[in-house]
Protein backbone atom coordinates (compact mmCIF):
# COMPACT_ATOMS: atom_id res chain seq x y z
CA UNK A 1 0.00 0.00 0.00
CA UNK A 2 2.80 2.35 0.93
CA UNK A 3 4.69 1.78 -2.33
CA UNK A 4 1.56 2.29 -4.38
CA UNK A 5 0.58 5.46 -2.55
CA UNK A 6 4.08 6.97 -2.86
CA UNK A 7 4.28 6.12 -6.56
CA UNK A 8 0.83 7.56 -7.23
CA UNK A 9 1.82 10.83 -5.55
CA UNK A 10 5.15 10.66 -7.35
CA UNK A 11 7.15 11.21 -4.16
CA UNK A 12 10.05 9.26 -2.72
CA UNK A 13 9.28 7.43 0.52
CA UNK A 14 11.60 5.65 2.91
CA UNK A 15 11.37 3.61 6.09
CA UNK A 16 13.94 5.10 8.47
CA UNK A 17 15.25 4.98 12.03
CA UNK A 18 14.49 2.37 14.69
CA UNK A 19 12.51 0.04 12.41
CA UNK A 20 15.37 -0.29 9.91
CA UNK A 21 17.97 -0.59 12.68
CA UNK A 22 16.03 -3.34 14.45
CA UNK A 23 15.30 -5.08 11.13
CA UNK A 24 19.05 -5.49 10.52
CA UNK A 25 19.62 -6.47 14.15
CA UNK A 26 16.75 -9.01 13.89
CA UNK A 27 15.53 -7.47 17.12
CA UNK A 28 11.96 -8.24 18.21
CA UNK A 29 8.72 -7.38 16.48
CA UNK A 30 8.30 -3.78 15.33
CA UNK A 31 5.64 -1.68 17.09
CA UNK A 32 6.18 1.44 15.05
CA UNK A 33 7.62 2.45 11.71
CA UNK A 34 8.86 5.91 10.80
CA UNK A 35 8.32 6.84 7.17
CA UNK A 36 10.01 9.84 5.55
CA UNK A 37 8.46 11.34 2.44
CA UNK A 38 10.44 13.68 0.24
CA UNK A 39 7.35 15.87 0.03
CA UNK A 40 4.30 15.96 2.28
CA UNK A 41 4.18 13.21 4.91
CA UNK A 42 0.57 14.13 5.68
CA UNK A 43 -0.52 13.71 2.03
CA UNK A 44 1.21 10.33 1.88
CA UNK A 45 -0.48 9.17 5.07
CA UNK A 46 -3.90 10.16 3.68
CA UNK A 47 -3.23 8.34 0.43
CA UNK A 48 -2.16 5.17 2.25
CA UNK A 49 -5.26 5.29 4.43
CA UNK A 50 -7.52 5.48 1.35
CA UNK A 51 -6.01 2.22 0.13
CA UNK A 52 -6.33 0.32 3.39
CA UNK A 53 -9.39 -1.79 4.21
CA UNK A 54 -11.72 0.22 6.43
CA UNK A 55 -9.77 3.44 5.66
CA UNK A 56 -8.32 3.93 9.16
CA UNK A 57 -8.31 7.57 10.35
CA UNK A 58 -5.16 9.64 9.91
CA UNK A 59 -4.08 11.57 12.99
CA UNK A 60 -2.50 14.82 11.85
CA UNK A 61 -0.09 16.80 14.03
CA UNK A 62 -0.07 20.12 12.22
CA UNK A 63 2.56 21.82 14.36
CA UNK A 64 5.10 19.13 13.52
CA UNK A 65 3.89 18.46 9.98
CA UNK A 66 3.55 14.77 10.83
CA UNK A 67 0.77 12.21 10.59
CA UNK A 68 0.09 8.88 12.24
CA UNK A 69 -1.80 5.89 10.96
CA UNK A 70 -2.60 2.76 12.90
CA UNK A 71 -2.41 -0.36 10.74
CA UNK A 72 -3.56 -3.30 12.85
CA UNK A 73 -1.28 -3.05 15.89
CA UNK A 74 1.46 -1.19 14.03
CA UNK A 75 1.80 2.59 14.33
CA UNK A 76 3.13 4.20 11.16
CA UNK A 77 4.43 7.73 11.58
CA UNK A 78 4.79 9.89 8.45
CA UNK A 79 7.01 12.92 8.22
CA UNK A 80 8.20 15.11 5.34
CA UNK A 81 11.98 15.10 4.87
CA UNK A 82 13.35 18.10 6.75
CA UNK A 83 16.39 20.15 7.52
CA UNK A 84 16.91 21.41 11.06
CA UNK A 85 18.81 24.28 12.63
CA UNK A 86 19.25 24.79 16.35
CA UNK A 87 19.69 27.70 18.75
CA UNK A 88 21.73 27.79 22.01
CA UNK A 89 18.93 27.62 24.55
CA UNK A 90 16.44 25.16 23.16
CA UNK A 91 16.23 21.58 21.95
CA UNK A 92 13.53 22.61 19.49
CA UNK A 93 14.94 23.34 16.06
CA UNK A 94 13.86 25.62 13.24
CA UNK A 95 12.55 23.30 10.56
CA UNK A 96 12.42 23.63 6.78
CA UNK A 97 11.71 21.18 3.96
CA UNK A 98 14.73 19.23 2.79
CA UNK A 99 16.08 16.23 0.93
CA UNK A 100 16.44 12.68 2.25
CA UNK A 101 20.11 13.46 2.91
CA UNK A 102 19.12 16.52 5.00
CA UNK A 103 16.78 14.29 6.96
CA UNK A 104 19.48 11.69 7.53
CA UNK A 105 21.83 14.46 8.68
CA UNK A 106 19.45 15.44 11.47
CA UNK A 107 19.35 11.90 12.90
CA UNK A 108 21.14 11.19 16.17
CA UNK A 109 23.23 8.13 15.32
CA UNK A 110 24.51 6.45 12.16
CA UNK A 111 22.59 3.28 13.11
CA UNK A 112 19.39 5.38 13.32
CA UNK A 113 19.96 7.10 9.96
CA UNK A 114 19.60 3.99 7.78
CA UNK A 115 16.81 4.35 5.21
CA UNK A 116 15.09 1.71 3.07
CA UNK A 117 13.34 2.94 -0.06
CA UNK A 118 9.66 2.02 -0.37
CA UNK A 119 8.89 3.09 -3.97
CA UNK A 120 8.28 0.10 -6.25
CA UNK A 121 11.14 0.71 -8.70
CA UNK A 122 13.73 0.70 -5.92
CA UNK A 123 11.92 -1.21 -3.19
CA UNK A 124 14.23 -2.28 -0.38
CA UNK A 125 17.22 -0.19 -1.57
CA UNK A 126 19.36 0.78 1.42
CA UNK A 127 20.54 4.39 1.70
CA UNK A 128 23.36 4.47 4.19
CA UNK A 129 25.47 7.62 3.73
CA UNK A 130 27.26 7.37 7.12
CA UNK A 131 28.22 3.68 7.24
CA UNK A 132 25.48 2.82 9.74
CA UNK A 133 25.35 -0.82 8.65
CA UNK A 134 29.05 -1.24 9.38
CA UNK A 135 28.53 0.45 12.77
CA UNK A 136 25.72 -2.03 13.51
CA UNK A 137 28.16 -4.85 12.76
CA UNK A 138 30.87 -3.21 14.87
CA UNK A 139 28.35 -2.52 17.64
CA UNK A 140 29.22 1.16 17.67
CA UNK A 141 27.25 4.28 18.60
CA UNK A 142 28.48 7.09 16.38
CA UNK A 143 26.93 10.40 15.27
CA UNK A 144 26.45 11.20 11.55
CA UNK A 145 27.96 14.69 11.94
CA UNK A 146 30.53 16.21 14.30
CA UNK A 147 29.62 14.84 17.76
CA UNK A 148 30.26 18.25 19.36
CA UNK A 149 27.49 19.72 17.20
CA UNK A 150 25.11 16.76 17.49
CA UNK A 151 25.11 16.68 21.32
CA UNK A 152 25.18 20.40 21.86
CA UNK A 153 22.26 20.90 19.40
CA UNK A 154 20.08 18.45 21.30
CA UNK A 155 21.51 17.31 24.66
CA UNK A 156 18.82 14.61 24.95
CA UNK A 157 20.98 12.70 22.46
CA UNK A 158 23.60 12.22 25.21
CA UNK A 159 21.09 10.15 27.16
CA UNK A 160 19.90 8.38 24.01
CA UNK A 161 23.50 7.36 23.20
CA UNK A 162 23.89 5.88 26.67
CA UNK A 163 20.47 4.24 26.55
CA UNK A 164 21.20 2.54 23.19
CA UNK A 165 24.60 1.46 24.48
CA UNK A 166 22.89 -0.12 27.51
CA UNK A 167 20.04 -1.72 25.53
CA UNK A 168 22.16 -3.09 22.68
CA UNK A 169 25.44 -3.54 24.54
CA UNK A 170 27.13 -1.25 21.99
CA UNK A 171 30.22 0.87 22.57
CA UNK A 172 30.02 4.68 22.30
CA UNK A 173 32.90 5.80 20.06
CA UNK A 174 35.57 7.83 21.90
CA UNK A 175 34.89 11.23 20.22
CA UNK A 176 31.23 10.91 21.14
CA UNK A 177 32.05 10.01 24.71
CA UNK A 178 34.35 13.02 24.97
CA UNK A 179 31.68 15.31 23.50
CA UNK A 180 29.12 13.98 26.01
CA UNK A 181 31.52 14.67 28.89
CA UNK A 182 32.07 18.20 27.61
CA UNK A 183 28.37 18.92 27.11
CA UNK A 184 27.09 17.21 30.28
CA UNK A 185 25.88 20.47 31.87
CA UNK A 186 23.57 21.06 28.88
CA UNK A 187 21.39 18.21 30.11
CA UNK A 188 19.76 20.91 32.26
CA UNK A 189 17.71 22.15 29.27
CA UNK A 190 16.12 18.70 28.77
CA UNK A 191 12.72 18.18 30.35
CA UNK A 192 12.43 15.82 33.31
CA UNK A 193 9.92 13.68 31.42
CA UNK A 194 12.39 12.97 28.62
CA UNK A 195 15.18 12.27 31.11
CA UNK A 196 12.98 9.77 32.95
CA UNK A 197 11.98 8.02 29.70
CA UNK A 198 15.63 7.34 28.92
CA UNK A 199 16.47 6.47 32.53
CA UNK A 200 13.67 3.92 32.56
CA UNK A 201 14.93 2.38 29.32
CA UNK A 202 18.39 2.06 30.87
CA UNK A 203 16.88 0.44 33.95
CA UNK A 204 14.86 -1.91 31.75
CA UNK A 205 17.89 -3.11 29.82
CA UNK A 206 19.37 -6.53 30.52
CA UNK A 207 22.41 -5.16 32.36
CA UNK A 208 21.53 -1.64 33.59
CA UNK A 209 25.01 -1.10 35.06
CA UNK A 210 26.31 -0.56 31.49
CA UNK A 211 24.18 2.59 31.16
CA UNK A 212 24.52 3.65 34.80
CA UNK A 213 28.31 3.44 34.63
CA UNK A 214 28.31 5.55 31.45
CA UNK A 215 26.02 8.10 33.12
CA UNK A 216 28.50 8.21 36.00
CA UNK A 217 31.64 8.42 33.83
CA UNK A 218 30.27 11.23 31.65
CA UNK A 219 29.21 13.37 34.61
CA UNK A 220 25.52 13.13 33.70
CA UNK A 221 24.49 11.11 36.74
CA UNK A 222 25.81 13.79 39.09
CA UNK A 223 23.33 16.22 37.49
CA UNK A 224 20.38 13.84 37.25
CA UNK A 225 20.68 11.81 40.44
CA UNK A 226 23.31 13.36 42.75
CA UNK A 227 21.87 11.24 45.58
CA UNK A 228 23.48 8.24 43.88
CA UNK A 229 26.88 9.74 43.08
CA UNK A 230 27.07 10.99 46.70
CA UNK A 231 27.35 7.32 47.67
CA UNK A 232 30.67 6.94 45.86
CA UNK A 233 33.92 6.56 47.72
CA UNK A 234 35.41 4.75 50.67
CA UNK A 235 36.42 6.68 53.77
CA UNK A 236 38.99 5.39 56.20
CA UNK A 237 39.41 6.45 59.84
CA UNK A 238 41.60 4.58 62.36
CA UNK A 239 42.09 1.85 59.77
CA UNK A 240 38.34 1.26 59.48
CA UNK A 241 36.62 1.41 56.11
CA UNK A 242 33.11 1.00 54.74
CA UNK A 243 32.17 -0.36 51.33
CA UNK A 244 31.66 1.85 48.27
CA UNK A 245 27.89 2.13 48.25
CA UNK A 246 27.69 3.50 44.72
CA UNK A 247 29.38 0.57 43.00
CA UNK A 248 27.57 -1.76 45.38
CA UNK A 249 24.26 -0.25 44.20
CA UNK A 250 25.12 -0.97 40.56
CA UNK A 251 25.78 -4.60 41.47
CA UNK A 252 22.46 -4.84 43.27
CA UNK A 253 20.60 -3.38 40.26
CA UNK A 254 22.25 -5.93 37.94
CA UNK A 255 21.47 -8.74 40.39
CA UNK A 256 17.80 -7.82 40.62
CA UNK A 257 17.53 -7.40 36.84
CA UNK A 258 18.40 -11.08 36.44
CA UNK A 259 15.39 -11.93 38.59
CA UNK A 260 12.66 -9.53 37.53
CA UNK A 261 11.49 -7.19 34.77
CA UNK A 262 9.49 -5.14 37.27
CA UNK A 263 10.70 -1.57 36.61
CA UNK A 264 9.71 -0.34 40.08
CA UNK A 265 11.57 -3.11 41.80
CA UNK A 266 14.59 -2.06 39.76
CA UNK A 267 14.03 1.54 40.91
CA UNK A 268 13.92 0.28 44.51
CA UNK A 269 17.27 -1.47 43.96
CA UNK A 270 18.71 1.73 42.48
CA UNK A 271 17.62 3.81 45.46
CA UNK A 272 17.91 1.24 48.25
CA UNK A 273 21.00 2.84 49.83
CA UNK A 274 20.53 6.58 49.06
CA UNK A 275 19.96 7.34 52.74
CA UNK A 276 23.49 6.22 53.53
CA UNK A 277 25.31 9.34 52.27
CA UNK A 278 23.55 11.84 54.58
CA UNK A 279 23.54 9.50 57.62
CA UNK A 280 27.16 8.35 57.49
CA UNK A 281 28.99 8.82 60.83
CA UNK A 282 32.16 7.50 62.40
CA UNK A 283 32.01 6.22 65.94
CA UNK A 284 35.27 5.44 67.71
CA UNK A 285 33.83 2.34 69.39
CA UNK A 286 31.79 0.76 66.61
CA UNK A 287 33.28 2.25 63.45
CA UNK A 288 31.17 3.44 60.51
CA UNK A 289 27.41 3.70 61.04
CA UNK A 290 24.49 4.71 58.83
CA UNK A 291 21.97 4.93 61.61
CA UNK A 292 18.44 5.64 60.36
CA UNK A 293 19.46 5.52 56.70
CA UNK A 294 16.39 3.49 55.77
CA UNK A 295 14.02 6.19 57.06
CA UNK A 296 16.07 8.94 55.46
CA UNK A 297 16.23 6.91 52.22
CA UNK A 298 12.48 6.44 51.96
CA UNK A 299 11.96 10.18 52.45
CA UNK A 300 14.53 10.81 49.73
CA UNK A 301 12.58 8.55 47.37
CA UNK A 302 9.70 11.03 47.59
CA UNK A 303 12.01 14.00 46.95
CA UNK A 304 13.67 12.28 43.99
CA UNK A 305 10.35 11.24 42.42
CA UNK A 306 9.03 14.77 42.87
CA UNK A 307 12.10 16.38 41.32
CA UNK A 308 12.08 13.99 38.35
CA UNK A 309 8.33 14.52 37.92
CA UNK A 310 7.69 10.81 38.37
CA UNK A 311 4.11 10.13 39.49
CA UNK A 312 3.71 10.28 43.27
CA UNK A 313 1.42 7.27 43.29
CA UNK A 314 1.32 3.69 44.54
CA UNK A 315 4.48 2.84 42.58
CA UNK A 316 6.36 5.50 44.54
CA UNK A 317 4.96 4.17 47.82
CA UNK A 318 6.06 0.70 46.76
CA UNK A 319 9.62 1.94 46.14
CA UNK A 320 9.59 3.82 49.47
CA UNK A 321 8.44 0.75 51.35
CA UNK A 322 11.09 -1.45 49.81
CA UNK A 323 13.82 1.09 50.50
CA UNK A 324 12.66 1.30 54.10
CA UNK A 325 12.66 -2.45 54.64
CA UNK A 326 15.44 -3.72 52.40
CA UNK A 327 18.08 -3.34 55.09
CA UNK A 328 15.85 -4.89 57.77
CA UNK A 329 14.96 -8.28 56.29
CA UNK A 330 15.22 -9.81 59.75
CA UNK A 331 12.29 -7.68 60.84
CA UNK A 332 10.03 -9.41 58.37
CA UNK A 333 10.27 -12.78 60.03
CA UNK A 334 11.03 -11.59 63.52
CA UNK A 335 7.85 -11.32 65.51
CA UNK A 336 9.74 -9.62 68.24
CA UNK A 337 10.46 -6.40 66.41
CA UNK A 338 10.92 -3.63 68.91
CA UNK A 339 10.97 -0.76 66.47
CA UNK A 340 7.31 0.23 66.25
CA UNK A 341 7.62 2.16 62.97
CA UNK A 342 9.21 -0.83 61.28
CA UNK A 343 6.65 -3.15 62.85
CA UNK A 344 3.84 -1.09 61.37
CA UNK A 345 5.42 -1.21 57.96
CA UNK A 346 6.15 -4.91 58.13
CA UNK A 347 2.50 -5.34 58.93
CA UNK A 348 1.33 -3.70 55.72
CA UNK A 349 4.05 -5.05 53.44
CA UNK A 350 1.74 -8.00 52.76
CA UNK A 351 1.48 -8.50 49.02
CA UNK A 352 4.95 -7.05 48.42
CA UNK A 353 6.74 -9.53 50.62
CA UNK A 354 8.00 -11.53 47.68
CA UNK A 355 9.37 -8.39 45.96
CA UNK A 356 11.08 -7.41 49.18
CA UNK A 357 12.68 -10.85 49.44
CA UNK A 358 13.91 -10.52 45.82
CA UNK A 359 15.51 -7.18 46.66
CA UNK A 360 17.10 -8.55 49.83
CA UNK A 361 18.49 -11.51 47.87
CA UNK A 362 19.96 -9.14 45.26
CA UNK A 363 21.52 -7.11 48.07
CA UNK A 364 22.72 -10.10 50.09
CA UNK A 365 25.08 -11.46 47.45
CA UNK A 366 27.33 -8.48 48.01
CA UNK A 367 27.09 -8.45 51.81
CA UNK A 368 28.14 -10.56 54.73
CA UNK A 369 25.74 -13.52 54.52
CA UNK A 370 25.93 -14.19 58.27
CA UNK A 371 23.67 -11.25 59.02
CA UNK A 372 20.93 -12.89 57.05
CA UNK A 373 20.92 -16.43 58.47
CA UNK A 374 17.71 -15.78 60.31
CA UNK A 375 16.06 -14.30 57.25
CA UNK A 376 17.11 -17.31 55.17
CA UNK A 377 15.65 -19.78 57.62
Asked if residue 173 binds ligand ATP (CB under 6 A), the reply is no
Asked if residue 112 binds ligand ATP (CB under 6 A), the reply is yes
Q: How many CB atoms lie under 10 A from the CB of residue 347? A: 9
Tell me phi and psi for residue 315, to 5 degrees: -65, -40
Treating both helix axes as pointing N-terminal to C-terminal, what angle do 245-259 and 209-218 enclose, rounded to 10 degrees? 150
CB of 20 to ligand ATP, least distance (A): 8
Nearest to 48 by CA among 40, 73, 101, 113: 40
Nearest to 31 by CA among 23, 41, 39: 23
Residue whose beta carbon is closest to ligand ATP: 18
CB of 156 to ligand ATP, least distance (A): 5
CB of 282 to ligand ATP, least distance (A): 46
The DSSP secondary-structure symbol of 60 reads E
Find the binder of ligand ATP among 154, 254, 294, 363 (CB under 6 A). Answer: 154
Listed in sequence order, the residues at least 6 apart from 46 whose beta carbon sits closer than 8 Å to its beta carbon are 58, 67
Single out the segment in contact with ligand ATP by CB under 6 A; choices: 154-162, 263-271, 272-280, 340-348: 154-162
Asked if residue 345 binds ligand ATP (CB under 6 A), the reply is no
Asked if residue 320 binds ligand ATP (CB under 6 A), the reply is no
Find the binder of ligand ATP among 156, 172, 214, 231 (CB under 6 A). Answer: 156
Residue 37's beta-bridge partner residues? 13, 80
Q: How many residues interact with ligand ATP (rule CB under 6 A)?
A: 9
Asked if residue 142 binds ligand ATP (CB under 6 A), the reply is no
Which of residues 80 and 329 has its CB atom nearest to ligand ATP in the complex? 80
DSSP string computed for 202-260: HHTSSSTHHHHHHHHHHTHHHHH-HHHHTT----EETTEE---HHHHHHHHHHHHHHH-
Single out the segment in contact with ligand ATP by CB under 6 A; choices: 152-160, 215-223, 279-287, 344-352: 152-160
Which of residues 112 and 183 has its CB atom nearest to ligand ATP in the complex? 112
The DSSP secondary-structure symbol of 56 reads P
Single out the segment in contact with ligand ATP by CB under 6 A; choices: 48-56, 121-129, 153-161, 313-321: 153-161
Which of residues 107 and 142 has its CB atom nearest to ligand ATP in the complex? 107
Asked if residue 108 binds ligand ATP (CB under 6 A), the reply is yes
Q: How are beta strands 115-117 and 94-97 bridged, if at all?
A: unpaired
Which of residues 86 and 247 has its CB atom nearest to ligand ATP in the complex? 86
Nearest to 57 by CA among 65, 67, 48, 69: 69
Residues 33-62 that bind ligand ATP (CB under 6 A): 34
Find the binder of ligand ATP among 6, 17, 300, 363 (CB under 6 A). Answer: 17
Find the binder of ligand ATP among 142, 157, 266, 296 (CB under 6 A). Answer: 157
Asked if residue 147 binds ligand ATP (CB under 6 A), the reply is no
Which of residues 160 and 328 has its CB atom nearest to ligand ATP in the complex? 160
Asked if residue 103 binds ligand ATP (CB under 6 A), the reply is no
Whole-angstrom CA distances from 251 to 14, 246, 248 are 42, 9, 5
CB 6 within 8 A of CB 37: yes
CB of 112 to ligand ATP, least distance (A): 3
Burial class (CB in 10 A: 0-12, 13-18, 19+), 258: exposed
Rounded-to-integer distance, Cα 38 and Cα 15, Å: 12
Which of residues 107 and 296 has its CB atom nearest to ligand ATP in the complex? 107
Rounded-to-integer distance, Cα 92 and Cα 17, Å: 19
Find the binder of ligand ATP among 46, 47, 82, 107 (CB under 6 A). Answer: 107
Q: List residues near ligand ATP by CB under 6 A.
A: 17-18, 34, 107-108, 112, 154, 156-157
Amino acid sequence: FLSEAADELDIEAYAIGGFVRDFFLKRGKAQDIDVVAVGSGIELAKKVSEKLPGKPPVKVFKTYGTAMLKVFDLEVEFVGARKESYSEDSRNPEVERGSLKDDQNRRDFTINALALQLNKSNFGKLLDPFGGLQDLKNQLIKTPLDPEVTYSDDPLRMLRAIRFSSQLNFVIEPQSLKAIQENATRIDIVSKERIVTELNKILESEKPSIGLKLLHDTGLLKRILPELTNLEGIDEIDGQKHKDNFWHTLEVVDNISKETNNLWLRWAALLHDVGKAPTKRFNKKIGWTFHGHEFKGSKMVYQIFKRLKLPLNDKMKFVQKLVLLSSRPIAIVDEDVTDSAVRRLVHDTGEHLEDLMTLCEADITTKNPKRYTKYHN
